[in-house]
Amino acid sequence: MWRWALFPALAMCLGWGIRGQFGGETGAMVPGALVGLALAFLSGWRGRDAARLGAVGAFACSLGGMMTYGQTIGLVQDQYPSPTYWWGLLGLAIKGGVWIGITGIFLAIACSERYRPAELVAVLVGAIVLFVVGVQVLNRPHHPPDELPLIYFSKRFDPKPRVEWWGGLWFALIGLIVYTGAFKKHRQAVMMALWGIVAGAIGFSFGEVLQAWGHHQKPFGEAIQPWMDWWKVMEMSFGFIAGAGLGIGWKVTGLHAVQPPQVVPWKRIWDDVTVLLWLIPTLAVELDVSWAEGWGNLPFWWMLIGLLGGLAGGGWAPFGTGVAVTLVSAMDTLRYLYDERQLLAFGWGFAGLVVLLLVTAYLTALWYRLGAPAHTWLLWTVWMQTALTWAKYLPPVLFTADGRNWLVRWGAGGVVEISFVVLAVVLSLLIWRYLSLEGQASAESLPT
């Protein structure tokens, strides 16, 4: 059991730490892809099936990225102890629970042959309707300072109180649980949702307990405090507990022993159409195209297209796991270095991005055609995403003069970057060890 808890926990711990470097719905694709690939790897799935589970995990986890939680964290730690401490933790539990619950239920749906493409379209349309209803019931009105929701987990008296969406996600998740359980008799989907809810609720709130404690109590002393990124401690703790919960749920529900489904994908033309419907708004928002102004507020809508493609499409497995996850992180890195730090000429950065994506597309197409093993996809994602965080962090440290010496400028962010490399190495060694043990077991089972 320990490997089912530890391996997905480490994968999602790294993924959530990386997600914090990129943010938003697109950043949340990283931990989803890593946990999906980790579960597929441990289950012994072939590379193509693993890539599909990684794509579904990426887009399912991205949906929770629409929820605001910065002011919710502020409720916990602006003072210590804060008079709104427990209310803030309750809000984080509610948001974390629905976030990982949605990820869990869609990972389970991806393991079943009982959902046809037309039905999946209907299911997602129904979830959208429930989402809109839930937002109106629980998260509206939002007309500050006069009208705010009755149940509100951001700061009511902030000059710009945040718009919340968690009610819509909860309505959608409950609808999915009812549909998969009562109508499809898919017990494993219901149980994975429940495991995700529990793990997400505990993980997000416990991570913030650590952050508030570390931020105010300075447990390692004043000298060490500047090197501690307590926000990152919160994120990675959340990821570790969420990944462990999904891994244990995968094991106890029996999904680890389920053979990959023989999915009959929709027609190839729908792959092409949905990929374009995902790519166009993603690129338009990332490149700040004028006609897409305002679109970036809710990438949730086209992330649903990616989720549908991952579940029902044939070409979305390599695209979602290989190209899309790389694209969103690389685009964020390019925008940061060009817009915010002004350390990169856009033309050169864009050319580098195109080359990176061409290489990525070639490799993922090759691996998909050859049926590369699951650990190939997993290692690629681990190391590519880790490398992109370094590409975003290191140039400002090296090339921005601010009067401080290099070591001081390295700071807590540098410690975080080193932790990413350590986690990537640990995951790589665990993969190697697991493959080695599997090889020995196979050799011992051969007749002599």
> Is the previous residue joined to 83 through a cis bond, with omega within 30 degrees of 0?
no
pLDDT for 411: 85
Residue that the structure tokens 């429940």 belong to: 194
Question: Averaged over 106-131, what is the pLDDT?
Answer: 96
| φ, ψ of residue 143 in degrees (nearest 5) | -130, 75
Amino acid at 132: V
Which pLDDT tens digit goes with each residue over 434-445? Answer: 998 876 665 555
- Dihedral angle, C-alpha 234, 242, 119, 116, nearest 10 °: 130
Largest CA distance in the chain: 80
Q: What are the C-alpha distances in Å from 340 to residues 34, 294, 307, 354?
A: 28, 19, 31, 21
Count how many domains the chain has: 1
| pLDDT tens per residue across span 42-90 | 999 988 999 999 999 999 999 999 999 999 999 999 888 889 999 999 9
Q: 103 and 55 in contact (C-beta within 8 Å)?
A: no
Band of the pLDDT at 7, cuts 50, 70, 90?
very high
Structural domain span for residue 415: 2-445
Report the pLDDT averaged over residues 157-186: 97
pLDDT at 279 exceeding the cut of 70: yes
Neighbours of 142 (CB within 10 A): 15
pLDDT value at position 441? 60
Pairwise pLDDT comparison (446 vs 359), residue with the higher score: 359
Say yes or no to pLDDT of 331 above 80: yes
Strand partners for 143: 147
Q: CA separation (Å) from 436 to 46, 95, 441? A: 17, 39, 9
**C-alpha–C-alpha distance, residues 341 and 176, integer Å:** 43
Question: The pTM is what?
Answer: 0.95
Name the average pLDDT for the chain. Answer: 92
**Cβ distance 95 to 204 under 8 Å?**
yes
Residues 96, 93: Cα–Cα separation, whole Å: 5
More confident residue, 212 or 441: 212
The confidence band for 446, taking pLDDT boundaries of 50, 70 and 90, is low
Q: Which two tokens stand for residue 66?
A: 């629409």
Would you give the distance in Å from CA 417 to the centre of its chain? 18
Q: Per-residue pLDDT tens for 391-422? A: 999 998 888 776 666 667 788 899 999 999 99
Q: What is the DSSP-derived secondary structure letter of residue 44?
A: T
Give the integer Cα–Cα distance in Å for 29 and 281. 16
Kindly indicate the confidence band of residue 301, based on its pLDDT and cuts at 50, 70 and 90: confident
DSSP label at 343?
Answer: -
